[in-house]
Structure 1
């Protein structure tokens, strides 16, 4: 099966790319992956996506974007891309349940998966008191006590941001020393709303009989005693893992695995392969910025296909 373009992933970036490609009559194939709709499908209410003054549920927003892409002719298939051959055009992709498909161009929008603690009470309360995104969910904890788990720059940044809403923010870290840069540590320590629970290992997200998050059970590594830190929300800030393993090292990435794109574009090191969304963005990680790069990827892809139809491929490869 040959396609002009294939989009891998269906978060805000992939779906926006699909909308633009479909409107350009390129009839993209969109491969959904194991989490159709991306991380927003695990979010309850989204209040910071433009155009929805009353907010919108994350799954509903993703469903609307998918329907919009389908309306213009995008084709959706369930399955995981397990292997790719990007050494020459047409590019070859192996997809579970489909076999091998080929494409003249590929847009990678597989996102980045938040790292979790793997403790009881965590996964079942994601979106209901447990979060991995302060800018997404901080507003819902106005006037409440919050916990941030982590010791790096991201944790310090999330904790500082959450003090805009919370009565207090307690940083929980399993070691006495933090991994965060000195400037980020100093900024957090100078904030009167931030409290510290260092050298403590998270054990369990605690809920009441109604299933409402009440706090975090931790092990005090100094005293070897278990403690419960009371809080209405637990924000896990221990990093993200970009979903790039299936690429087999054929695309240039940074030291953390994020795809490297040419500045100001979505172009990767391989002509005809583009990347958008959180798989190449370790800084902003917002639905609206992901959607913006999805638009960029579609436009970059469309121009590439126009150019390659009038130029010899070997010349494009060497340009």
Structure 2
């Protein structure tokens, strides 16, 4: 076990749009940030096909290429980008103690948590195989590619209702598959769904398989007890996201869904000098551009924090 020697001014956890944007701002401010990319360098964007809604890329760009651009820009200003995942933290001491997946401990005077969220999946083998070839977890990202086609949305909550309504404006027909005999979505969202002529809601329906070799062609479902096929070019899984907050508990306050709670209008968490940016603290928007925006905020908040004296934190325990 390596003993930590000296503390790093700023550690950024997560290499998605939020983390890289924080690194760009922090590096330009002379904070010498060190960014750990985490288990999925590039974040959720690396499993997205074309990104057409990020400003500045007028012809669109693939998610992975965009994240390479972000990383190169951060490195150009001197950010140190490292492979590795923070698996454990101790926020009771100052400087903050972070443990990497290889067992090495590092000390940080300020921390930006930008570890993102992960879409929940159905767990079918065909889902992985056809990801980006008709299977998606984001209607706003990918709906455009299914213009005038039939699509299937899976889920019964507000996310599924929102995705269905969004897709209904683009697609010929939307089949919404709900596992139970009722929807969990709010009343107003349900009413909108039922009013929309080209959304068909299937209750007591589960996906059995996704049919197609190179692209999604149909969805095999169990409806009540019968097995049936729904012809569709796209499958949108909208059964929720899981914020990647586990390593930061129990120190960091999270909401009932597990998203980090920040002080309104800032990226401050309940621990002084620990900030949160991107999808790990955003259950609502979950876009690359909003994540990048909070990454910028976190870097500015961290810079302000690092300019203050912190003697009082050295022996204070934060609860």
Q: What is the TM-score with the length of structure 1 in the denominator?
A: 0.95
Match of 1:14 in 2: 19
Distance 2:299 2:222 in 1: 49
| 1:317 Cα deviation after fit | 8.6
Distance 1:160 1:312 in 2: 52
Corresponding residue SS for 1:184: helix
Match of 1:218 in 2: 221
Q: Please list the CA deviations of residues 49-72 of structure 1 after superposition, one character each: whole Å capped at 9, or x if unmatched.
A: 000111011100000000111111
Distance 1:316 1:272 in 2: 13
Match of 1:300 in 2: 301
Match of 2:280 in 1: 279
Match of 1:239 in 2: 240
Q: What are the residue-to-residue correspondences of 1:173-192 with 2, within 5 Å?
A: 173-192=178-197
- Counterpart of 2:136 (choices 120, 131, 134) is 131
Distance 1:271 1:317 in 2: 11
Match of 1:29 in 2: 34
Please say if residues 53 and 60 of structure 2, whose CA atoms lie closer than 8 Å, have aligned partners that are also in contact.
yes
- Counterpart of 2:211 (choices 206, 211, 216) is 206
Q: Does 1:86 align with 2:91?
A: yes
Match of 1:59 in 2: 64
Q: Please list the CA deviations of residues 137-193 of structure 1 after superposition, one character each: whole Å capped at 9, or x if unmatched.
A: 111111111110000111011100111210111101112211111111111000001
Distance 1:316 1:267 in 2: 18
- Counterpart of 1:170 (choices 147, 172, 175) is 175
Please say if residues 16 and 295 of structure 1, whose CA atoms lie closer than 8 Å, have aligned partners that are also in contact.
yes
Please say if residues 132 and 237 of structure 1, whose CA atoms lie closer than 8 Å, have aligned partners that are also in contact.
yes
| 1:88 Cα deviation after fit | 2.2
Distance change (3 Å), C-alpha of 1:15 and 1:316: farther
Corresponding residue SS for 2:97: strand
Corresponding residue SS for 2:89: strand
Match of 2:149 in 1: 144
Q: CA RMSD in A?
A: 1.6
Corresponding residue SS for 2:304: helix
Aligned length: 313
- Structure 1 spans left out of the alignment, 5+ residues: none
Please say if residues 308 and 316 of structure 1, whose CA atoms lie closer than 8 Å, have aligned partners that are also in contact.
no
Please say if residues 271 and 316 of structure 1, whose CA atoms lie closer than 8 Å, have aligned partners that are also in contact.
no
Distance 1:231 1:141 in 2: 10
Match of 2:81 in 1: 76
Distance 1:264 1:235 in 2: 32
Distance 2:145 2:28 in 1: 37
Match of 2:290 in 1: 289
| 1:248 Cα deviation after fit | 2.4
Please say if residues 156 and 184 of structure 1, whose CA atoms lie closer than 8 Å, have aligned partners that are also in contact.
yes
| 1:12 Cα deviation after fit | 0.3
Distance 2:260 2:248 in 1: 10
Distance 2:283 2:313 in 1: 32
